[in-house]
Amino acid sequence: MRDIAHFVNGQAFDGASGRFGDVFNPNTGEVQARVQFATDGEIDAAVQAAAKAQVGWAATNPQRRARVMFEFKRLIERDMNSLAEILSSEHGKVIADSKGDIQRGLEVIEFACGIPHILKGEYTEGAGPGIDVYSMRQPLGVCAGITPFNFPAMIPMWMFGIAIAVGNSFILKPSEKDPTVPLKLAELMMEAGAPEGVLNVIHGDKSAVDAILTHPLIRAVSFVGSSDIAHYVYQTGTAHGKRVQAMGGAKNHGLVLPDADLDQVVKDLSGAAFGSAGERCMALPVVVPVGKKTADELRERLVAEIDTLKVGISTDTAAHYGPVVSAQHRAKIADYIQIGVDEGAELVVDGRDFSLQGFEKGFFIGPSLFDGVKKGMKTYQEEIFGPVLQMVRAESFEEAIALPSEHQYGNGVAIFTRNGRAAREFAARVNVGMVGINVPIPVPVAYHTFGGWKRSAFGDTNQHGVEGVKFYTKVKTVTARWPEGDVEDSAFVIPTMK
């Protein structure tokens, strides 16, 4: 059995905990490797290496740091195919989708290539007599990232791409379910010229997360995963004096107004609800048609569209989506479908019996569609994170906008309409962090920022963009005085600008 080691101080590092996690191939259901889980002592060694490396890295001028990011981008583009194959083999998403996962992370690296410009501080000449004021953004020291299984390339790059470009060193604790691509990214950062110790990868479960959250040298922790754990990470990390941003789960709604282009809506909903087997925090698992006519027509078209979907192994270029990540997750999705039936929703398409010939042990599940889903239902309130689309019918725009606004999650939301005024009002009023107007998966581009509201994110700063730079830096403001002439009297009152 292949063992997956940690990566510390520029090289593979074999841990000695004797604890491992299984890494499956979701297409076949087989265990393909086991990943080592780090001890607290091993995590401490990684943090010490990172702290040592950070001093020289922070003193490296920003343009040189940017050159490493440029080279890293080139290397990822060079290795795109092999990275995507590895990603698909551990996650289960189809190869084209794995390339998208890598590409969206790469866009943050492209943003980080401009870091010398972004890091420029503010300057006020002549704030008082002979007084100038300027500010600078300085790195924090050692930062850490804890990432989920569903974007093993993009989310690590959201985090370390910015953290390292601004002069920090980084400890990455990727998901134990698909740890190989994050490791490859660290190797490529070294090949790109990052000094040893600037990016370290340690594997583990809750115990590793706790060691990170309580380590005195780690200044900031970025987390992405499910909401209960995000909340725990936020509370524990901040209680230990760290800056924490913790992104959680989601239940994104797509509102369909009567004037929407239903042909386009059906295509958009199908990709956003079932793509990547629904394992996206920006998936669209809830559709809210406004008015009976819209709902009936949409339902009919959705059923026909679902019939055309092909579920296949992740290397099948004709497949729309592949298996889910684990047998346990497959069972959880199937359980939610049963709960939906039991609580009275109408299961229009049932994907539970799907099995792929030749891959019967793979973690496949077909697409499911519910109609008649109501606000109070458990399956509406909770995140299913699978290929299940739930239709909640609304009578009016007001009823429809209240649904995402009042939901416990507030990650993303979309509206489909030709009415600019309705869309504008929706964007302004809806109580959700990221809004799409005729865009089903409104993941903002890298130079804007990513972050949900309510139980979808704990902490005040978003991922990437200028917010990401703020998260990984602290501001220092310098007030400088170069007096001319006579000695001035002592001042015993707070100085003010006269």
Cβ-Cβ contacts under 8 Å for 200 (sequence gap 6 or more) = 6, 7, 8, 9, 46, 49, 50, 169, 170, 171, 172, 186
Q: How far is the CB of 15 from ligand NAD (least distance, A)?
A: 15
Catalytic residue status for 143:
no
- Cβ(226)–Cβ(247) under 8 Å? no
- Number of residues interacting with ligand NAD: please give it, by CB under 6 A: 27
Q: What is the DSSP string of 103-126?
A: HHHHHHHHHHTTHHHHT---EEEE
Selected range binding ligand NAD among 144-152, 191-199, 260-268, 339-347, rule: CB under 6 A: 144-152
281 binds ligand NAD (CB under 6 A): yes
Q: From CA 231, how far away is CA 409, in angstroms rounded?
A: 13
Residues 6 or more apart whose CB falls under 8 angstroms from that of 67 comprise 193
Residues 202, 91: Cα–Cα separation, whole Å: 19
Q: What is the rounded distance in angstroms from the CA atom of residue 371 to the CA atom of residue 350? A: 12
CB of 481 to ligand NAD, least distance (A): 46
Kindly state whether residue 456 participates in binding ligand NAD, applying the rule CB under 6 A.
yes
From candidates 90, 97, 107, 383, binder to ligand NAD by CB under 6 A: 383
Looking from the CA of 281 toward its CB, the CA atoms found within 13 Å total 29
Part in contact with ligand NAD (CB under 6 A); list of ranges 44-52, 70-78, 133-141, 145-153: 145-153
- Report if residue 229 touches ligand NAD, rule: CB under 6 A: yes
Shortest Å distance, C-beta 432 to ligand NAD = 12
- Look up residue 406 and give its amino acid: E
Check residue 158 for interaction with ligand NAD (CB under 6 A). Answer: no
Binding mask 76-115 for ligand NAD (x = CB under 6 A): ----------------------------------------
Residue 161 to residues 100, 144, 213, 304, 439: CA-CA distances in angstroms?
17, 12, 21, 42, 26
Phi and psi of 188, rounded to 5°? Answer: -70, -35
Q: Which residue is nearest to ligand NAD (CB)?
A: 225
The one segment of 45-53, 143-151, 261-269, 429-437 that binds ligand NAD by CB under 6 A: 143-151
82-90, 98-106, 162-170, 243-251 -> range binding ligand NAD (CB under 6 A): 243-251
Which residue of 411, 449, 461, 473 would you call a contact of ligand NAD, by CB under 6 A?
A: 411
Q: Torsion angle of alpha carbons 347, 272, 30, 179, nearest 10°?
A: -140
User: Residue 108 or residue 229: which is nearer to ligand NAD going by CB?
Assistant: 229
178 binds ligand NAD (CB under 6 A): no
Indicate which residues carry an active-site annotation.
281
Under the rule (CB under 6 A), what is the footprint of ligand NAD?
146-151, 173, 175-176, 205-206, 209, 224-226, 229, 232, 247-250, 281, 383, 385, 411, 452, 456
